[in-house]
Structure 1
Amino acid sequence: MQVFNRIATSILEMIGKVLWGFKPNLMKDIVAQEGSVNSLSWFARNMPTYEKTLDDWGAIRTHLLATEISVLNGCSYCTYGHASALQLHYYKDYGKLLPSDEDQIASWHSVSEDETVDRFRELIGSAELSSELPILERMLVLRRGSEEPTSEEDRKIVHFIKMFQLLNRCGINAKTSHDQAHDPINKDSALREQYQQVRGEIPDSPPHHH
């Protein structure tokens, strides 16, 4: 079995390298927990749908939703990867920084769910991304299972909820260490450097109080 696991891990790491410019740390952990065949078939089922949503929605909406779900599920690894992608796209599109950085957002899973949701609402408001608020609110309803999906947008959200159940579970179980932005923008090293430089010039924001 070990040889199959190694082959499956290599394939998945290579996909990550082609898409995002690095071998994601989580791939070996998914294969270790799910097995080689299950892991490969899971990615074959889920990645095309994810890529289509990324195309339809654009990077900011996609990574914001992935970040929100991953924080609520308590996975620091996936949160960091998608929050990093969100930061880079936001900086590229708006020429400014999000009020909270990727490390801060990745630590939000340690507070209550209500507090986390409040922080996301506040982030969305202060980042002038109010068009993203309905997606957050709808995700919370669908995640609770209190309503069935009724639209194409709902189905996209539900796919993310299901997809990140597995990714987040594997990341939590393995305590996978953070890597880089889970998006093709990660390959833009000049943008990454510029973002880090600008991020480094501002002092850490004060602790979050209500």
Structure 2
Amino acid sequence: MYATGLDRLVVRMLQAACRVMWGFPPRMIPFIVGRMGAVRAVVWFARNMPRYMSTLKVLGPVRTHLACVTISLRNGCSYCAYGHAYALELFHLRDRDRLFPIAAAEIAEWIDLDARQLRDRLRAVLQQAGLHVEALWVDRTLDLVAGAGPMDAAEARIAHLVRMVGTMNGIATANDVPCDEAQSTINKDRALKARYTTLRAGVA
């Protein structure tokens, strides 16, 4: 997988950075470096991650992760869909003190739905979760994935996610990367994750 010693160094560096942010080294980091090469991978992360972190603050983690789930499902990527859906679940549990209606593992299986089916499925589960405003963002995110232009600054942030997450989707699906953990800082909350696991086991 690694062409050079520099590739190995960059993989370790990026994995270490993700471990600090999210509490684990994502399985797809080696594949990103393998596809892009060491230098281009570093440049890509440097260009995209600050904007992504800013979007998390401006739009909030729920809306941001929902957009990433929507983009990933439309692109047929179960790896990224799961990682962001799991993060969405954890934020929902933390903020609303109840489980999200559908588990991330099930959501990640919706990769074969067409745009209309995906729109209906996501809107239904968001309404069931009480996230009525967020359901409206599913529509615009799917429009942006389909090539529509952003209409304001918030949509410009979603458009950036379409490009950034789309790149990751392509690499993950091409290499059949297995799902791992929540792609978020909330993944480091062990107590919350333990509670989540217990609650999910109770409804299985």
TM-score category of the 2 structures, normalised to the smaller one: over 0.9
RMSD (Å) for aligned C-alpha atoms: 1.1
Q: Paired residue for 1:162?
A: 163
Instruction: Please say if residues 70 and 141 of structure 2, whose CA atoms lie closer than 8 Å, have aligned partners that are also in contact.
Output: no
The reply on whether 1:17 has 2:24 as its aligned counterpart is no
Could you tell me which amino acid in structure 2 is paired with residue 197 of structure 1? T
**1:72 and 2:74 are equivalent in the alignment:** yes
1:104-133 deviations in Å (ceiling 9; x for gaps) = 001010333322221101111111101112
The farther-off stretch of 187-196 and 107-116 is: 107-116
Deviates more, 1:111-120 or 1:22-31: 111-120
TM-score, normalising length: structure 1 = 0.93
Residue in structure 2 matching 1:142, options 141, 144, 155:
144
Q: Which residue of 1 aligns with 2:84?
A: 82
Alpha-carbon shift at residue 134 of structure 1 (Å):
2.4
- Whole-Å Cα distance in 1 between the matches of residues 50 and 89 of structure 2? 24
Aligned-pair distance for 1:44? 0.2
Structure 2 counterpart of 1:45: 47
Q: Which runs of 4+ in 1 moved over 3 A?
A: none
Answer with 55-64 or 85-94: which moved more: 55-64
Q: Is the 2:59–2:154 Cα contact (8 Å) retained in structure 1? A: no
Unaligned ranges ≥5, structure 2: none
Q: Which amino acid aligns with 2:195?
A: Q
- 2:36 is matched with 34
Q: Give the aligned length.
A: 202
Structure 2 residue corresponding to 1:7, chosen from 6, 9, 17: 9
Q: Which residue of 2 aligns with 1:181?
A: 182
Moved more, 109-118 or 12-21: 109-118
Give matches, 1:192-207, under 5 Å: 192-203=193-204
| CA distance in 1 between partners of 2:113 and 2:135 (Å) | 20
Once residues 22 and 141 of structure 1 are traced to their aligned partners in structure 2, the CA distance between those partners, rounded to angstroms, is 33
Instruction: Tell me the CA shift for residue 69 of structure 1.
Output: 0.7
Cα distance in 2, alignment partners of residues 194 and 144 from structure 1? 38
The yes-or-no answer on 1:60 pairing with 2:83 is no
Report % sequence identity.
36
- Give 1:169 shift: 0.3
Note the C-alpha offset of 1:34.
1.2
In structure 1, what is the equivalent of residue 96 of structure 2?
A: 94
- Which amino acid letter does the alignment assign opposite residue 99 of structure 1? P
- Which residue identity does 1:162 align to in structure 2? R
Mean Cα deviation higher: 183-192 or 148-157:
148-157
Q: Which deviates further from its counterpart, 65-74 or 130-139?
A: 130-139
How far apart are 1:71 and its partner, in Å?
0.7
Do the aligned residues in 1 keep the contact of 2:7 with 2:34 (CA within 8 Å)? yes
